[in-house]
Amino acid sequence: MVKQQQATFNEVHPSPPFWSARFSLPNPPTPGTFMLADLGEPLRTVLFPAFIEDNAFITLLPPRHPGTHLLPGSNVDMIGPVGKGFEIGSIDNLLLVAEDRYLPPLLPLLRAATGVALIVEATTRAMLPQIAHIPPAVELYMVTRDGSAGLLGPLESESPAPTGLERAAPHFKALITWAECIILSCAPERYPALAAMVRKTRLSVPENFAQALVQVTMPCGIGACEACRVKTKRGERRACTDGPVFNLLDFDGVE
């Protein structure tokens, strides 16, 4: 049952390329679940936790997000935690894959396994995350579509890269073989191609091996508004109630 909570907004400060906002509340969300916050907009706003504390969570917001305009001490009406979160269990090798603006919900998982590798793909180097957010033990791969930092993307590309620039796809495939679990947070339209790459790389894919976080508009949290419908090979699903974490292979072959 979805619960209503009163949260207190504590603080906000720049954390390029995001803004970091902290809320205290009795029951914070878990990794992959979210809160629906009344921030004075016509519809409630989805807030995923980037860092989770006792009775509090921190979310990373884009510039000019309504959450960046709150005053410290403000009361915020929230519904949640909402949705189905990540299921990892006890593993040694975890691979996290994210596009720049979809990265924050994966940050709570950076210490979820003995060995963690993180691939972050950005349009350009200015959109890459701060290294301070990444524990030193994490094996980090930076990918930029313009080649301004790290490897040249995109991840699912099979075409040759320009001379002198490495392609990201071979590194991604090697890590798929290494991992016991893969968690992805990208634009939903990219999941079919990424699912196909996982299917081609692994001879067998265990249950929950590849999990995809779908970040779309989810204003109601109970599947009634149908704004969060997601097309899968099992038919249409609602991200807020059937997800937002799905089996990546449910997008394999979806057009």
Q: What is the pLDDT of residues 13-63, one digit of tens each?
A: 999 999 999 999 999 999 999 999 999 999 899 999 999 999 999 999 999
Domains in the chain with CATH codes: 4-82 (2.40.30.10), 93-251 (3.40.50.80)
For the stretch 130-189, pLDDT in tens is: 777 789 999 998 888 777 776 656 666 655 443 333 356 677 888 999 999 999 999 999
pLDDT tens digits for range 191-248: 998 999 899 898 888 888 999 999 998 888 888 888 889 999 988 999 989 999 999 9
- Rg, Å, the chain Cα set: 18
pTM over cut 0.85? yes
Which of 232-240's residues contact partners 24+ apart within 8 Å by CB, and which partners? Answer: 239/83, 239/214, 240/82, 240/83
